[in-house]
Structure 1
Amino acid sequence: MIHFFDNATLPVSRWRNGGGETREIVSFPPDSSEFSWRISIATIAADGAFSRFPGIDRVITLLEGEGVELKAGNRYTQLLRPRQPFAFAGEDEIEARLTSGVSTDFNVMTRRETHCAEVRVIADACSPAPQNAGVVYVLAGEWLTETQSLTRGQGVWWQAGAPSFAPISSGALLLLAEIAGR
């Protein structure tokens, strides 16, 4: 079964530190205090520390904004650029610095011991692995699933039995996050 969402109507949760907000797409299992995997869209409005999530692997993809610099102490510095997924460990102590104003990011978090994620940008028709859970989010253009069309800012998620996706406009781009069990 697939579940439709529109970023404009997702519930908004403000961050405790006041530096942004999150729109949760899905957290699995539902109604659990400890997720196996979670996918959301966040707005970063101010420089500051990321929340730490020990035992969680994260993949962040810049959707809007000029860039965000992530700094993990003396270990690494990564400049996030639009539509380029970046993976890091949830226990990393990350400081984020906006390079040019507010940014919007697509975030995937998986519990390391039970799940893993692959996030990529798609421009052609695709059929995600049927045994995997996942989310697609339209970055540009219009896409057709087996049941409906999707435009920028819309998407679907599923637990298993992924639908197929096909672009129906030129320049269409889709962000695909596949979640596999270990």
Structure 2
Amino acid sequence: MAARVIRNHDLVRVPWKNGGGTTAEVAAFPEGSGFDTFGWRISLADVASDGPFSVFPGIDRTLIVVEGSGIELNVEGIAYRLDRDSPKLSFSGDDTTAGRLLAGPIRDLNVMTRRGLFRHRTRFVESGVALLAEGTSVAFLVALDGSFDVTVASTIHSLQVLDALMLEAPQDLILLSGSGRAILVEIASDTPR
């Protein structure tokens, strides 16, 4: 299984057109693809002000608040509060969405997959063994609260806060150790139903 550490401090942050924040791409498939051509994309965003979200037709999204007090997302007229107690929301990129910061800037993790090609699942994990879902083709672990060690094929990969480990052709079990939590992102092919 191929494993690659992606350091948070190495990510390139690009300003949004509306000036409301920045985005740093963690990884995308195919590599080098743009917003109209990616199959899946994972990024970190720094949200500095309230405002509308970009519409991504045909894309399924999950947004997870990883730093800051939180944000209220208004998705098609329904408000969802994302904060430390409930930091995650999955929604359609087709939906009209706007964000209102609860108390200052936030940083969030965005996972996007193109419907009909890929699907994703996200969950929080702690020290122990993580069992990956059947059919997972690529997985990411993103350290949240502190350092995290991931053992893959007897090699230990050490992650600091917001570092990511990309696992291609992953095995079923991943050994995790650390003092905090991490986000596990699993991406699989999505066959048309």
| TM above 0.5 | yes
Q: How far did residue 7 of structure 1 move?
A: 1.2
Other-structure match for 2:28? 27
Residue identity opposite 2:29 in structure 1: F
Q: Is 2:161 the counterpart of 1:152?
A: yes
Higher strand share: 2
Question: Where in structure 1 are there 5+ consecutive unaligned residues?
Answer: none
Moved over 3 A (4+): none
What TM-score comes out, normalization by structure 1 length? Answer: 0.91
Please give the alpha-carbon distance, in whole angstroms, between the structure 1 residues aligned to 2:99 and 2:136.
35
What TM-score comes out, normalization by structure 2 length? Answer: 0.86
Percent identity of paired positions between Structure 1 and Structure 2: 34
Question: Where in structure 2 are there 5+ consecutive unaligned residues?
Answer: none
Please give the alpha-carbon distance, in whole angstroms, between the structure 1 residues aligned to 2:11 and 2:66.
16
Conserved 8 A contact 2:68-2:105? yes
Please give the alpha-carbon distance, in whole angstroms, between the structure 1 residues aligned to 2:119 and 2:143.
22
Q: Is 2:58 the counterpart of 1:55?
A: yes
C-alpha deviations, 1:27-65, integer Å up to 9, x for none? 101123300000000000010110100000000000011
Please give the alpha-carbon distance, in whole angstroms, between the structure 1 residues aligned to 2:80 and 2:26.
25
Per the alignment, in what secondary structure is the counterpart of residue 9 of structure 2?
helix
Please give the alpha-carbon distance, in whole angstroms, between the structure 2 residues aligned to 1:143 and 1:65.
21
Other-structure match for 2:82? 80
Please give the alpha-carbon distance, in whole angstroms, between the structure 2 residues aligned to 1:44 and 1:53.
18
Please give the alpha-carbon distance, in whole angstroms, between the structure 1 residues aligned to 2:33 and 2:67.
30
Conserved 8 A contact 2:68-2:106? yes
Conserved 8 A contact 1:127-1:165? no
Conserved 8 A contact 1:143-1:165? no
Q: Is 2:186 the counterpart of 1:178?
A: yes
Other-structure match for 1:164? 174
Per the alignment, in what secondary structure is the counterpart of residue 132 of structure 1?
strand
Root mean square deviation, CA, Å? 1.7
Q: How many residues align?
A: 179
Q: How far did residue 161 of structure 1 move?
A: 2.2
CA separation of 1:159 and 1:29: change in aligned 2, threshold 3 A: farther
